[in-house]
Structures are given as structure tokens and as C-alpha cells.
Amino acid sequence: MPIKKFTVFIVFAVLFSNCKQKPSEIIVLQIIPNPQNQSINEGNFVLRDGMGIQNDSDFNISADFLKNFIQEGSNITLKENDDIVFVKDSNISNAEGYVLDISTSQIQIKTNSAQGAFHAVQTLRQLLPVGFENGSFNKNEVVIPCLNIEDAPRFPYRGMHLDVARHMFSVEFIKKYIDALALLKINTFHWHLTDDQGWRIEIKEYPKLQEVSAYREQTLIGHFSDQPNAYDGKRYGGYYTQEDIKEVVAYAQKHHITVIPEIEMPGHARAAIAAYPELGCTGDSIKVAQTWGVFEDIFCAGKDNTFNFLETVLDEVVELFPSNYIHIGGDEAPKTHWKQCPDCQNRIKEEGLKNEHELQSYFIQRIEKYLNSKGKQIIGWDEILEGGLAPNATVMSWRGTNGAVEAAKENHNVIMTPTSHCYFDYYQSTNEGEPLAIGGYLPLEKVYGFNPIPEELNQDESQYVLGVQGNLWTEYIPTERQVEYMVFPRILAMSEVAWSNSENKNYEDFVNRVEEFNKRLDALDVNYANHLYEVEGDLISENGESFYTLKTLTKDKVIRYTTNGSEPNEQSAIYDDPIPFNENMTVKTAVFKNGKQLGKTFTEYFNYHKGVGKKITISPEPSKVYAGSGAQGLINGISGSDTRYGDKEWLGFWGDDVEITIDLGEEIEINTIKTRFHNGQGQWIYAPKHIEFQFDHDSQIIEVPHSKDILVNVLFDKMVRTRYIRLKVPNYGIIPEGKQGSGNKAWTFIDEIIVK
């Protein structure tokens, strides 16, 4: 009978030789994603040389995987016995569910499907020592605790994306990527194959896609926002042959992973138009894009030869990918050329369309109808909602969750992948020295905290949420090692968001499992980012006094700190109580264990000013996904990152005019007010055009100069006496044509308001 219930982790012994009852090594169980139900029972199962696996043909892939994993990872040789047995169980209703039952005499894997069997094997794999991963386990037996796991995924769609158009990666690396997805029970690989900067899939009917579209003359150096732009002068490119594609798809199938290709249309088509100019509206000769962003060169919706081209391309794509879905993009398609194109305008008149947005809907629906005739369904980014949603389309909601809500309420399937929680090209740490990224800030905890079911949906509507997906866009990720660094460990959190029920999630427990799981990643030679030993700080204000609190989530560690700017060491003060904040100071802190520093030093600069700790209100509230530390974070003495607009100090508002009121408690003299706005226009973020400062007896409007700088500073420089400070911040408005996010309202991001 069970002796212990657990949902977080168990500790068990790995015993070597002769079934001795004293453990020679203690291993912490770190199953990721966390199973739904698990219990540990009395006794152990001893896996030893000469045992065997029994299965019927339905489970050949899983049985072979397990057999190879054990034999190649250790000195254990398996034979034809029933020590490990796969059992067909029709009572398990979930298509990917399984039961893993380990007794003293046998390991049973019960499931109703080949997929369920494979997931069970991945769980059993994580019960074995990490040495099995790279063949370094040199014993011929291992003890596993008796336990029972009943498991099934929360969502049927659990995806991970990889953009190979901006930077391309080898077939061998794609297989390694798929290996990682399989380990984490992620069942879909979204392969982004075409974009403005490169066409990566061989289409035999159109050889110029390989000769021209697959290569760009040079690549941007540094960030898109850096002015002036610089380039490396090196030709870059390549493509996957159809044989490469078949090899990857077959490999994925053996790991029970579906590969969904993405062929972008009508936007992000510059590379294709560079090879075949007649596909564009102007017919002009253009080059494959050398920089990042959104381009006005999109497929012409008025010419039938555009659809002939795309249908021929899709004919070859369909033959290569057995998936039910084909992703057709549909995002970021500026309508500038369509508005001026006689063919597009004729199409609008002939089809009785109202505008260019309905023309895009016509485009998507025409492609959908064609793919439906081939037995395929389409997925598109949430822009495919504009102008009317295609009848059978699945929406991938990336611009927040509004697209998902709208689609689900129209009874369309949706996949959740909002930038706020699912874009792994964002920074994951506030540390200096992180690899260059597109911007934003998405730490591990925020990924883990994502709930894929929008609160606006009722129970019936929630059924249309198929699942969740992490995305990796590679504008700033040129190498395979950097891909791994940006994906891991955030993919671990995403796997648990997609698989585990909410009641089985606990971030502190997850962090402890990640700490152990990293040893498995080491054995697999995965270049993960390790930010587990960083310190997090928060400012609290009580009764007019402010204090800084510190924490780290990994167990059995000590936090040491200094307040004079010196580096912490094993002699520095141990953090036990909140640190008083009543003057300018620099706090440096780090995690220590056994006198040794783990991880990097965390530094926070404090600017003590007259607004710190005072009462502040904001209307409307910031976006839930960019709420930072809340309103109080705007007057806590801590400025946000210069590059990571999504950190704890920046507050984001989408399309709203904002009013901020600071109550100083009494009328006092102030001389200056400083603040700043993020202006990352490539991420739809625009500084306001002006700000109005209001006081008890005065007000002033300050114009904000137009700037392409990533940060825009605003200074009020005038002595006034007041109790209340109000900032009225109007939204920039609609993003203009030709810019990323054109036609949408801009985001406003504001940082610390410094009152002197």
C-alpha cells in the first residue's frame, strides 16, 4: 500500500551490486513536467543485467527506445523477458495518458496508445541516473523505488517553435532539438521555414527559391534599434533539401512529435519576391532582406499567378509533411502596396470586399479552401482574424490573449502563445552580459506562471483552447549553442504549463526540480542558462519607511550582501532582515553555499527621492502581462533596465491614455521630475508625443521630441509647491504603415518617476 503521497519530488536510492539495502548514491527525482498523480510504495525494483522487455507491435517504437536507452547508457544488457512489460489498457481514455506501475518484481507501462507508451518511457527515463544519458553509468544494476504514476496531459497541443529563416541550423541540431521536446512530452515542432530574410525549404518547381531566396547578401550587426545600422558584408543562407525534410519528419515521428511547417503569406514574403518579382504588386526587382523588421513587399492578392505559385508550393509541402496542419502565417502584412495596386483594387471590387483587411481575409480563406481540398487544416497568427476569420482556421494568439478570446467565442480552436509569456527570444535575466536579444524580459517564473485559459472564456469556450506553445525567433540568435541558451530552462517551465494541471504546479518546487534536472542537461551537452542562483529583490514601504527584501528560491543557500557598492564575499553580511532604504545606496548581493559563491552578483542601484514610498494611483491599470511591480514600482527608487522593457520596474499599457497621481502627503517644494519611456518601435512600443504635468496650483505640457532612440527621457524643471503630482500620458496612437504592428494601437512603457 502507498506509504507517501507526493506531487513535488521524492528522494530514492540508487543501489549497486548484490541488492544491498544501503544506498551508495542518493538521487532526487525531478520529473518534468510534473505528473498528475503519483505515489511511492514500499520496496524497490532492481533493474539488472539479463532482464528484458515485453511488448506487442503497437509499442515497438517506445520499447526500442527504452531498450536502447538502457543498453547504450549502462552495462546492462536486456533480453526477452517480462521484467518490463507494455500493457494495452483500453480503460485509459486520454489518447496520451499512461500508468507507470513499478513493483518489486516488474515495471508495467499501461496505456491505450503508442503516444502514451512513449510518454511513460520518458518518465521512466527520468527515474534513472543521469549517467544513462551519455553512457557514463558503468554499473550493471540500478534500484528504482516502487511507485505508481497515473498521468495524462492537460492540453492536447504542446508546441515548441524554431525560426530557421533568420538563422539556419543543421539537420543534426534539429534532431537534438526534437530529442529535447520528446523528453519533455512536447508533441509538436513548429518549423518556421520562410521569411523576408531567407527561404529554407526546397521547392523543385521553383528553383530560384533555392538559388536566390535562400541567400542574403549580408546580415545586420548589433540590434535593429542601433543607429546607424551596420552589416557584416558576408553572404548568408542555405536551405533544407526535400530529403533533409523527410529525414527530420521521420525522426520526429519516431519520437511521437508532429512537425508543422510554416510557409509565410501574404506578408514576410520578401525573399520569395526577390526570386520572382511578379509575385509582388509592383513587379520591381528587390533583394532578400538583410535586416530585421516588417517590409511592405508582400504577395500580391490581386494576381492569380500569386495563388498559382503558392498552391504549387503547398502541393510540395503537403507531400513532405503528414501533419494535419499547415501554418500559413498571416501576420504583419502591411497593406501599403495593396492600396496602390490596380490588381488588388480590382480584386476588392470583384469580390465585393470593403477594404484591404477583407482582402487579406479573402487571401487566407482562398488558401484555406485549397489546403482543405488536400485534407489539411490551416493555422495562422491572430492577424487572420482581421477582416473575417477563415471558416476552419485555428488561431495562434501571439499579440496578447485577445485574439484567442475572440476566436474561441466564434467557436474556433486556438493555441496560446502570447509574447508576454511565450517568446523565448526575450531576455531572461537582468544581468549585464546576457547575449544580445530582441528586447523584453521573460524570466523563468513568468513562463511558469502562465495560465493558457483566458479568464474571459467560460467553461464551454475554454474547450477551444487546444494548448500552448513557446516560440524562438532567431534574428539575434546565430548559433545552435545560443538557441539552447535561450530555450533552456524556459522550455522546462513551458512543458509543465502545457502538461500539468494547475493544482500540481508550485514554482518553488519546480525550481528545485530544475536544479536537479540541469545535471541531466549537462549529460546531454545542452547549453542551458543557469539563473537559479540569482537573488530577487523587492521594495516594501510601511508607515512612511521603506525596506528592501531579498530572496532566492533554491534551498540550503545563504544570501550575502553589501550596501557600499563592494563585491560580496564569504565575509559579507548575511541577509536575515529587510535592508532599510532612506538614502542613495548600491546593494550588491549573491548566493553562497559552503563559502562558495554560486551564480553572478546581483546589483541594484537605489535613488532616494521625495516620491519614494508615497501613495500612487494609476488609471487605467497597466496590462496584466506587463504590470511590473505595480503602481508602487514607479516610485520605489529603482529604475528599470535599459533594454528589458518587461522587467519588474517598467509598466506597460496597450493603447490607453494613462493618468498617474502621486500623493506626497503634504504640500512640499519640488524642483524637478524625471521619467523616461521605452521607444522600442520594433516591438510596437512608442513614446508619447507629449505629457501634461499637473500640480495643486499649476500645470504644464511638455512636448516629447520625436526620436528613434530606444529610451526617451522627459524632464520637468521648475520649482513648485504641491501635495499632488499628476501625469497625463496620452497614448501615441495608431502605428503607421510600414512599421511593425502597423494599424494597431501602440504600447506605452513608463519607468521610475523621480521627484526631487
Task: Just list the catalytic residues.
Answer: 195, 268, 332
C-alpha–C-alpha distance, residues 29 and 517, integer Å: 9
Q: Strand 25-28 to strand 236-237: parallel, antiparallel, or no bridges (unpaired)?
A: unpaired
Are 252 and 178 spatial neighbours (Cβ–Cβ below 8 Å)? yes
CB atoms within 10 A of CB 536: 15
Q: How far is CA 385 from each of CA 240, 400, 408, 424, 690, rounded to the nearest angstrom?
A: 31, 14, 11, 24, 33
Q: How far is CA 432 from each of CA 23, 74, 162, 429, 602, rounded to the nearest angstrom?
A: 43, 41, 26, 8, 10
Nearest to 195 by CA among 285, 283, 294, 321: 294
CB atoms within 10 A of CB 348: 21
C-alpha–C-alpha distance, residues 217 and 289, integer Å: 9
C-alpha–C-alpha distance, residues 530 and 509, integer Å: 16
Furthest C-alpha separation in the chain: 89
Cell triple for 372: 482543405
Instruction: Please calculate the CA angle 334-335-341 and round it to the nearest 5 degrees.
Output: 140
Adjacent-strand bridge partners of 5: 39
The four Cα atoms 205, 206, 209, 210 give a dihedral, to 10 degrees, of 60
Cell triple for 71: 543498453
Cell triple for 129: 541516473
Are 234 and 218 spatial neighbours (Cβ–Cβ below 8 Å)? yes
C-alpha–C-alpha distance, residues 342 and 340, integer Å: 6
Are 33 and 184 spatial neighbours (Cβ–Cβ below 8 Å)? yes
**DSSP codes joined into one string, 71-93:** HHHSS---EEEEEEEEEE-TT--
Cell triple for 596: 562558495
Nearest to 480 by CA among 47, 57, 175: 175
Are 438 and 426 spatial neighbours (Cβ–Cβ below 8 Å)? yes
C-alpha–C-alpha distance, residues 647 and 687, integer Å: 17
- Report the run of H or E that residue 328 belongs to, with start and end: strand 325-329
**Is residue 445 helix, strand or coil?**
helix
